[in-house]
Structure 1
Amino acid sequence: MGATGSVVANSASSVEQTEGGDATRNTPKVVELKKLPDAIEEAVYVHEKFPLIIDTTEQAGRFLKYQTGTFISFDDPIQSMKSNLNKSLVGSFQFGRTLTLKFKTLEGMNESIFEPNVFPKEVLCRSKFFTDEVWKSVLPSKTSEDGDDITISSEFVFILCTNTDFVPPALYELMHVIKVVDKLTPSGANSATSGAEEDPMEQIAVMFGAKEVIRNSTQLVEAAFDGDLGEVKNYLDKGYHLESVDGRKHTALSEAACQGHMEVITHLLQIGADPNSTSDTGRSPLWRAAFNGHVEAVKMLLEAGASPEFVDKVSMESAFDVAQNEEVRGILSAWDMNTTVQLMEQRRRVILANLESRIKTSAEREFYARNLIRKELIEKAMSNDIQGIKVILEEVAAECEASSRDGSPAKPRATVEVRNDGGQSLLSIAAQFDFIDLAMFL
């Protein structure tokens, strides 16, 4: 079946959620977000098809945005201009990166999004797009004259992503369909009720190796309680986490607020301390400042986004209830909670921006690290260096094992299945040069 009019068939496909479902029977493979990278690799290198991802939770879209490559929201008329699609396509297949096209829905999808020699419909079919006739046809005219100097990388991946379950039947033939869900029960069914909710962005950070490492220091917390700003800065400079806690889950900011140490409070808030952290009894920095009657601390915490609504888990008393004096109670009663909501939203955006920056940096670093290892393995195979390949694979395995111990996904940066730019695996290279011992080792 070709990537022609059948692509735009309007009959919906059933999406029975069976883990590892057979895409040829209009059933997607269902995975959790953490298994998506493996599912994409399986689509490309086992089924030899580009992946189509059903993303009703929108988690996959967040993950794909940070892939080393280009993420295009097709609903954006600027991003989806044919000239931009062509530029993104050429850059992605030339340098072995991912090109993701995201749709809110595939209903009504038609051939108008494609254009021969610019963004051809054959991009939906991996085997057809990788033919010289097709991929060379999209090269800009001034480049196509020197087309022999340009190759299409076997690492190139084209992804369609949709936020609804609808998939035109023809796309089940052309692409490998994957559905991302929140949770899978042992039987493979989707479950939204098992376990505590995990922040999707934090989960993505873990997948890219960008999870923040927290080095806790009770000494930092004690220094804040003592009002020793110099020591607080000293511990922070040593790499201890701003949100370090003591045995009762009090942070440095909470301890400083409890004692009314304004210099320490000011510094901690300026560098991003959370004004709404709570102890094991539910007491926030504002609650403790109010309890001890520290007027200036109460004002500063409120202006930093501290919520006066937290209550002690035992007494169920709020900061207003425990306020030591009328001045503090007056400040709290007059405070507009809408201001708190706005300040908390501003803080959330800053935290998200910092997290996105960490993920992007980590994604780039990971891409280049994987590519470097891939090239080293290919060079070793070309020179029949079995021992060199062993050393690299052992190092990769050790690194993978270490990362799995600290909670990161146990996914090696390279395996014997890596391929050169022409699509040859190490085993294929060994066969080409008649390296019998290398072939047996692989």
Structure 2
Amino acid sequence: MDSTILRLRDSLAKQRNLYVPWTFGVVPITPTTSTLFYKSQDGTTSSISLSSTTTAQAEDLATVCKPATFGRNGEDVLDLTYRKAGKLDAGDFAWNFNPNSEVASGLFPWNSLKQGINFELYKLNVYGKDSFFKAHQDTPRGSNMFGSLVVILPFEHKGGKLLLRHRGREHAFDGYATLQEASVPSAAYIAFYSDIEHEVSSVESGNRVTITYNMYFSKAKEPPLFQAPIGSPLEHPFKAALRSFLENEGNIKAHPHLGFGLEHAYPFKTAITNPADMHLKGSDAVLVHILNDLDVEFSFYLLYILPDYKPEYSSLRLLSKKLLEGPEILDCENELSSDDRFDRMAVEEGSFLVSVAESPSRPRWGDWPKLYIESERFKTLPVTWVVLPNNEQLDNSPAMAYGNEPYVQDFYHQLCIVVTIR
């Protein structure tokens, strides 16, 4: 691969490797936040002092909870083999805790958060002995919802770790163990992006009590103050590398289109319309922030594979701004189920056939895909991939199988960015 592209890739990859899509810590219990109120079975209001919780209080709280359901294929499901827990909806309890943006600021490296955050009180959950919740994503409730904040209250329990997974990374967050290290009565918290797969491991003893908030971007609020990590450079290395790349006309002629597979999935309905409405996360937000700073033209695309071809058999892909309609269009191996649908989309304005090989040239097409690339019906684009999309970054989620709620309005989709240098 061209050394200039390798420099771009390395300057971006090194920072991506430092970035973790979850952040956690503790918040002290203050006189203001020391009392949890909830409706008792007889309709009266009961309360718990969070400065000195007991097992009996947790068990009483568990008795007023309803069984927790979850979303599966667009339906609200009670299935104790997949989720076993109790819940109180937001109207059935009250806690005078107001999260601030700083608890989530670690999700936005390099000062990439340019707006504030709204926290919406969502649910209280009680996970008693042998309770759990298998792997799922949090259901998106609009394009500006980006994550979840889970607060673990100081009730004694063992087990019930929150296990998070994303792009080969894993983290096991033990909220109660974190609380044992606090010097004053506290609650533990973890904030993470809602497209992150996560699960709650089985509780071995006690009661794991959590309060969850949905996090939304808010243009009406100020972003949190950004604090650069000690020893970090003043300018992002990728920004410096891309500026140098753009100053060389030879680079531009050799690589007029640069591609980037994005790290996160994003919710929308039918098509990518206004790029300004894309609420980007983590390293994706950093990338777009740099492209805007350098006044570089770019577009968002979905990435599809040819019908009847497994990803390892062909490097040919389709870039499109539209979703293929209907949940039946992709099979379990991430392939398009109809040649006709693929062909119709491929000839639409703004759709392109591209290679995801290391080189933008045409080797590795194979015999059958060659018919596509040599056909005059289809437009092609010589994309050089700075961040090579892997098979996970094919759009393979027209319907979300498991979530914490049934389908509301949007589904998660994988995206990439193509930069056009003029």
TM-score by length of 1: 0.22
Greater per-residue strand proportion: 2
